[in-house]
Amino acid sequence: MKLSIVVPVYNEEVNLPTLAERVAATFAGRDVDWELILVNDNSRDNSWKIIGELNARDGRVVGVALSRNFGQQPAIAAGLAVAVGDVAAVMDADLQDPPELLLDMLAKIGEGYDVVYAMKRSRGEKLLRRTVFNLFYTIQTRLAEPKMVVGAGTFCMMTRRVIEVLNRMREHSRYLSGLRTYVGFKQTGVEFDRPDRMKGAPQQTFSKLMRTGMDAIFAYSYVPVRLASWLGMITVVFALLAAGWVLYQRLVTHTAITGWTSTMVSYLFIGAVQLICLGILGEYVARIYEEVRHRPLFIVAETVGLEAEQAKEGEAPPPQ
Ligand code: UDP
Ligand code: MG
């Protein structure tokens, strides 16, 4: 049985040697044939050079270089596309996902599961980042359809039949936890305490996290767009009540006063509600536009340690 370990890499030169070492140490003396696929998401540091050196030292470490910075999710897709293992794992390069946990995951696969995700019991990130993550996941997993598991991130292991389906899903709004949940089969989790990244600054900057976060919500939930309808209905009820009150004052008590305040308040309120609803609609429209263009999900510039045949699979197939 062969295990492919897919790792998206963006400016991780300080972490890569330790990562390769810990992966090798994890499987040393065990009957597991593995490959470590490091997908260089066009790092600006020396990551690609180091990937070359790691490959020269140990042929089981291979590299794929993307033509530009596509982001963590497309980089994962690129890695899964070239993976030849019967089982593939996905993990971060910064050692927040301990390679040793791969053994527990493999054991679960051995028990007959198709997907084993790592569940964060706790998080080692700085307080602010941790709080934002926790809040986001609580909201996102509530809204998502089909239901996702709270605390299950990208760190996971999947069997060949799951990988095949994922490779066929060409959508650009990629969010591995969501795609994986969608595929189904037998799924289970293993718990772990997630440390902070070993070295370097987070490469998922605020704007990149926002993009992934919006994808995670809008690509897996219609609640936001329904929220627009609900807001509309609630506003209508309020508007009817207000109209009744105004008419009562005008026709029965004859105390109608020319009210600037009430006009402004309702005007501003309705304007705001309309803008929110337009924004929500726009999020879905933008995603439809993104998908219908059928652009490749990622573009491979070069590879190291991969067979030419294997590398070619990295290019996106033509739209069905
Ligand atoms: N990453 C990537 N492309 C990017 C940003 C990040 O491939 O544009 C990789 C990064 O190298 C790491 C993983 O995605 O292996 C997660 O990034 P990070 O640790 O910064 O995010 P967090 O742990 O906060 O989710
Ligand atoms: Mg990290």
| Per-residue pLDDT tens over the stretch 240-281 | 888 888 888 888 887 766 777 778 778 888 888 888 888 888
Among the atoms of ligand 1, which is closest to the Cα of residue 75? 7
Q: Once rounded to an integer, what is the mean pLDDT over residues 179-189?
A: 93
- pLDDT score of 188: 94
Measured from the alpha carbon of residue 209, the closest ligand is 1
Which residues contact residue 148 at a Cβ distance below 8 angstroms, ignoring those fewer than 6 apart? 140, 141, 177, 178, 181, 220
Grade residue 186 by pLDDT with cuts at 50, 70 and 90: very high
Q: What six digits make up the tokens of 94? A: 């910064």
Ligand 1 pocket: which residues have CB below 6 Å?
A: 8-10, 12, 41, 69, 71-72, 75, 92-94, 96, 197, 202-204, 208
Q: Are strands 33-40 and 2-9 parallel, antiparallel or unpaired?
A: parallel
Q: Are strands 61-66 and 33-40 parallel, antiparallel or unpaired?
A: parallel
Residue 225, pLDDT above cutoff 50: yes
Contact 236, 274 (CB under 8 A): no
Mean pLDDT for the chain overall: 88
Among the atoms of ligand 1, which is closest to the Cα of residue 7? 15
Residue with CA nearest ligand 1 atom 22: 204
Contact 230, 153 (CB under 8 A): no
Contact 83, 163 (CB under 8 A): yes
Percent of the residues in the chain that have a pLDDT greater than 90, as a whole number? 47
- pLDDT score of 251: 82
Rounded to two decimals, the pTM is 0.82
- pLDDT score of 319: 45
Q: Which of 69-78, 143-152, 156-165, 188-197 has the lowest mean pLDDT?
A: 143-152
